[in-house]
Amino acid sequence: MTAVPSTAVSDAVRVEQAARAVVADHDPRSVSREELFGALFDAGLAFVGFPEGLGGLGLSRGLQNVVDGVVTEAGGPRGFAINPIGYGMGAPVVVEYTQTRELAREWLRPLATCEHIWCQLFSEPGAGSDVAGLSTTAVLDGDEWVLNGQKVWTTLAHVSRWAMVVARTDPDVPKHRGLTYFVLDMDQPGVEVRPLRQMTGQAEFNEVYLNDARIPDAHRLGDVGAGWRVAITTLMNERTAIGGVTGRRGSGAIAEAVGLWQAHPEKRTPVLRDRLARLWTKAEAHRLTLARARRTATAGQPGPEGSVSKLVAAELNQEIYEFCMDLLGPEALLYDDYTMHRTERLAADPGATLQQRFLRSRANTIEGGTSEVMRNILGERVLGLPGDLRADSDRPWKEVPRG
């Protein structure tokens, strides 16, 4: 058994004490969400791994779990549940690549308080899994960039104030080298958001049209033409965020499966019992793996463990809800409200039925990178297996045929 360094123990104690002091002065059950999250940010507990003054303490990012546990225990919400793109992807990119510390703080505090929701404009109709093949253009006009193009599958774009966007600034070089990364104000002329209806009836995803939308050069993250590097940082944090939520033993989706099993003794069979046992074991192994990864996490950006976690979490979630549907039998078909509604939260509605959670889980192996993409990443970058042939990797983007 690996010993935990004493410094890590003392940091954990200090972080826990600071979190308890904040919730004591700002009781989550009696103050607004903005006041609680603002106090956590000012105390360096919104993003523990970030520098001081930017919502952090410069400590291991793994200690964020300590803060989240204290806040949840006190009856408070998790910022990630309200602003998942902001917390999971926006904040790490902003703190690493924003041109000035002042602008980073200006973005980070309302992000942390969830006053400003963030979204991510990456995927396009002709470039989904191949993000680097995107066609949206950004042309410099004085000290502003003018963007034109279409993005798709943009989560929560309809309630977002800011968006992370990658656009093509040089079509004369290979696709990965001609991209630049920006932060876009969604509340401006030239940004049109249209809902995409899912099979649950929800419309948490959107397509976004950019028609001469303007971005100050000061809102560029990273160098011109270096957008792919910033995008990779975003994607690695996205996969860690999607697959990296830990809870108590037996909590989460597996708890719903166990509860359903206990509620329906008349539906139990040896085969279903064996499936449930295997799912519970897999869920616990995943939870413990995440706990270990969090305990040893550094203040830097996540590595390939994010892709591992995302792959396992997505497929496990689908397996659990498939089990629930099989246990319900014909009752699983009883989902009759497909009325379109634009939700303000990610994933299934609060209090959603198991049928809705099953339908929503079909997106798990697509969003944040498909399972096929995750396996390619792990095969090539972790196991060192030969990569796929990429005929367009050295050709100028404008010469690559597109449908």
Q: Is 230 helix (H, G, I), strand (E, B) or coil?
A: helix
Length of the chain: 403
DSSP per-residue string spanning 118-133:
EEEE--BTTBSS-GGG
Q: What is the signed CA dihedral for 105, 62, 241, 21, rounded to 10 degrees?
A: -60
Integer Cα distance of 357 and 361 in angstroms: 6
Query: Catalytic one among 204, 207, 238, 305?
Result: 238
Tokens for 181, please give them: 């990364």
Structure tokens at 340: 């379109």
Active-site residue, 238 included: yes
Write phi, then psi, for 181 (nearest 5 degrees): -110, 135
Which stretch of DSSP H or E encloses residue 180? Answer: strand 179-185
d(C-alpha 72, C-alpha 375), whole Å: 34
Q: How far apart are CA 168 and CA 157, in angstroms?
A: 21
User: Taking a C-beta distance cutoff of 8 angstroms, is the pair 207, 194 a contact?
Assistant: yes
Q: What is the dihedral of CA 128, 134, 135, 136, to 10 degrees?
A: 90
| Residues 230-256: b if buried by 16+ CB within 10 A, e if exposed | bbebbbbbbbbbbbbbbeeeeebbbbb
CA distance 223 to 346: 31
Do 234 and 121 touch, CB atoms closer than 8 A? no
Phi (first) and psi of residue 19, to 5 degrees: -65, -40
Angle between helices 64-73 and 6-25 (to 10 degrees): 30
Active site residues: 238
